[in-house]
Structure 1
């Protein structure tokens, strides 16, 4: 049974990620389980570059976004309403 923590990341969650993420989070972004992520790393076939830190793997968010085909961060309507982003009409 899959728990909520393993559900794929939403579009909004992807843009709220820190500079680097753990392998579980990166795997969620691709909609795969952690076991598949480790298998792909072992085959040197994980969709983006990973950095080994001790016994763990980290993924730079910029590499993750690039592998997902995301080049620019979109502006969400609620960010404009909250004054976090400017509209074209400002």
Structure 2
């Protein structure tokens, strides 16, 4: 387990996350190292709920986004240009 913080996730990376993510990815989203994330979970202070799957922790992306203060997925200009955003609102 690495104790140094990796670079935080970019907005684009956050919005491309699957339905759930591992603890390492969730920690990156908050700008913390995995060791800090485990410590916060043990203290009951991790910023969002985690789900224990065997010996690992998973975080639902919807809970992660909510904890980051993101309630809606923004539309990026290149998605509009590609026609992706138009199908979301039809």
Deviation per CA, 1:44-76, whole angstroms, max 9, x where unpaired? 000000000000000000000000000000000
Please state how far the C-alpha of 1:2 moved relative to its aligned partner: 5.4
> How does the TM-score come out when normalised to structure 2?
0.89
TM-score, normalising length from structure 1?
Answer: 0.89
Structure 2: 5+ residue runs without aligned partners?
none
Q: Which residue is 1:54 aligned to? A: 54
What are the equivalent positions in structure 2 for 1:8-87 lying under 5 Å apart? Answer: 8-86=8-86
Structure with the bigger percentage of helix: 2
RMSD over aligned Cα atoms: 1.5
Count of aligned pairs: 84
Q: Which runs of 4+ in 1 moved over 4 A?
A: none
Query: What is the Cα deviation at residue 22 of structure 1?
Result: 0.1
Do the aligned residues in 1 keep the contact of 2:4 with 2:33 (CA within 8 Å)? no
Distance 2:15 2:62 in 1: 10
Q: Which structure 1 segments of 5+ residues have no match?
A: none
* Deviation, structure 1 residue 19: 0.2
